[in-house]
Amino acid sequence: MAEIIQKDGTWVFDGDALRLTPGRDKNVGLFRKTLGELVVPLGALAGVSFEQGRRSGRLRLRLRDGADPLLHATGGRLTEGDDPYQLAVESDRYGVAEYFVDEVRNALLLDQVPADPVDEYLLPGPAVPLSVSAGDGTASFDGERVRLEWNWKTEDAKSAAGARTLAVTDLVGVEWRPSAGLENGYIRFSVRNAPTKAPPKYDPNSVELWGFKKDPLMALIAAAVQARLPHPAAEPDVLPEQPEPTRQLAAAAEDGHDALLRRLRELGELHRDGVLTDDEFAMAKQAVLKRM
């Protein structure tokens, strides 16, 4: 077993999994403290590294692509203080950190753990229920439904319809972005068959974030929802084979479509050769397009 205890947190490796416990140091972010202890199976790891500095170093875990819904939901946008897969190491513990890295790397080699992406989540995501108030609203998630409630700072156009309840089965995605510079952040839930280009400020399926302390906690909601959505790398559902009459109709429609495309090309050639005037070409083209 390998263990390293720091103000930033404690990492323990027992040969099968890593147990990551956040510390109580002021540099540990609110997100990391709220997320709590993480257990990372060895099979979810792609690598581990240690970087030395003059006063402190940093341990970093690299997970296999697609193994963690949290990393997918946050897209690498967590700060160092919030990132649970980084640990600040004091200079007098460099030797311990190097030993820790060697133990994990040896286990990866012995178990022949590949670094390839995975097509299923190997970590469960944050525990539910969850509720976070930040920006212009409150997002709650019980494992099956997301509820969005608004506060006095919400735009009237968004809050007029009242609180929103979204079933996980109706969602196709969730995205979290922190504030950056003068640009506000958000958490946005993508609803099936209801795409929108509205800014988060006006989108009733989004909570706008303004860069305050609790903004990163919305990433917990995003990760918990992501863990319950189909994995991005999973094979799409295969449609059932169509009965013979349906296939025949589809083939006939395809043949007719190809014939109309050929007709359009012929009309274009006649127009270029001067056989058809501009008006004649426009009328003939419009007639073909209507048939399509």
Radius of gyration of the chain (CA): 27
- At 238 the pLDDT is 46
- At 211 the pLDDT is 92
- At 197 the pLDDT is 86
- At 246 the pLDDT is 46
Q: Cβ contacts of residue 285 below 8 Å, gap of 6+?
A: 264, 267
pLDDT-flagged residues of the chain (< 50) = 238-240, 246-247, 249-250, 253-254
- At 258 the pLDDT is 63
- At 269 the pLDDT is 73
- At 256 the pLDDT is 59
pTM: 0.77
CA–CA dist 66, 117 (Å, integer): 6
Q: Cβ contacts of residue 219 below 8 Å, gap of 6+?
A: 31, 70, 73, 74, 78, 176, 187
- At 234 the pLDDT is 75
Read off the pLDDT of residues 40-58 as tens digits, 9 standing for 90 and up. 999 999 999 999 988 899 9
